[in-house]
Amino acid sequence: MKKLLVTGGAGFIGGNFIHYILQHYPHYKIYNLDALTYAGDLTKHRHIEYNPQYTFIQANIINYEMILSLFHQYKFDYVIHFAAESHVDRSIKDPSIFVKTNVVGTHNLLEATRQVGLSKFIHVSTDEVYGQLDFDPTTFFTEDTPLQPNSPYSASKAASDLLVRAYSETYGLPVNITRCSNNYGPYQYPEKLIPLTIKKVLKGEKVPIYGDGKNIRDWLHVYDHCKAIDLIMHKGTVGDVYNIGGHNELTNLEVAQKIIHALGKSQQLITFVPDRLGHDKRYAIDPTKLESLGWKPTYSFNEGIVQTINWYMQDDWLQQMSYEF
């Protein structure tokens, strides 16, 4: 029986990944390690909490002694490392926790892996480590694009990426690094654009859009992200980086407009607010390398956003999530 340690499994992507693995690999044993910070939520796992293949461990990856003891106790086959502080606005306000969690925490997991050993360490990162692209639709981030992070968040992720690479090159750890574009889908904490917009539109509140709303992101449904990590975990070449993108470039304004239209509300709900400091212009992923392994996205954005809106309307999870920043 394969044992998977999923860090950050009470979060958005990690939580969806746990559901995905239990559905597709019912013989795998999942260990969900999460510190349950503000965005961590276990209600998404109520339907699996008594599943014998699932175990929750409340722990913080900053605590090396705890992490090392867990590695010795459970002898994990795989680590899928999602745990991270991930909200750019919060990193601008207080970068220190991003360094502690994203850099020190990743180092602790790598060091425990070096001490105990495992089959593969998957480090889940972001396209934001590459910096930004101009508004030229023919340019994309590839795995060979230099790292040029522009926010404290993306700098902390770039630093953790380089640590993972160093542990692979120096100690021979079997690793993969994945860098995804902007995710959306069920169970996303409402500090991010799509769930925040859905929540505000449903309540008839103004929808804030930074600057002129023309910043472009490449949107990836979380299910397609989970599919990609599954494929990389089982078939990815050890030591390689894989970009994961959904072929869905849209401006932030277009995203908000599509959600408002789908919910049958007035576009007058949109309000423009002062731009974020250091707001990257455009992200766009070239996933050719991943596609060569056989991956392709299930959802176009138009399909995925309808599925996501319907999920949020049918489930009361979003309304239970309070967001203050």
Q: Please tell me which residue in 54, 130, 153, 223 is annotated as part of the active site.
A: 153
Q: Please tell me which residue in 127, 161, 218, 286 is annotated as part of the active site.
A: 127
What letter represents residue 287's amino acid? P
Count of residues for the chain?
A: 325
Is there a catalytic annotation at residue 128? yes
Whether 164 and 218 have beta carbons less than 8 Å apart is answered as no
Is there a catalytic annotation at residue 212? no
What letter represents residue 209's amino acid? I
Q: Please tell me which residue in 34, 41, 85, 128 is annotated as part of the active site.
A: 128
Whole-angstrom distance, CA of residue 163 vs CA of residue 176: 12
In the chain, beta strands by DSSP E: 3-7, 29-34, 54-58, 78-81, 120-126, 175-180, 182-184, 207-210, 216-221, 241-244, 249-251, 270-273
The token pair that represents 181 in the structure block: 């574009």
The token pair that represents 8 in the structure block: 């950050």
> At how many degrees (to 10) do helices 193-202 and 301-314 cross?
50
Is there a catalytic annotation at residue 127? yes
Q: H helices of 142-266, where?
A: 152-171, 193-202, 222-235, 252-262
What letter represents residue 96's amino acid? S
Catalytic residues: 127-128, 153
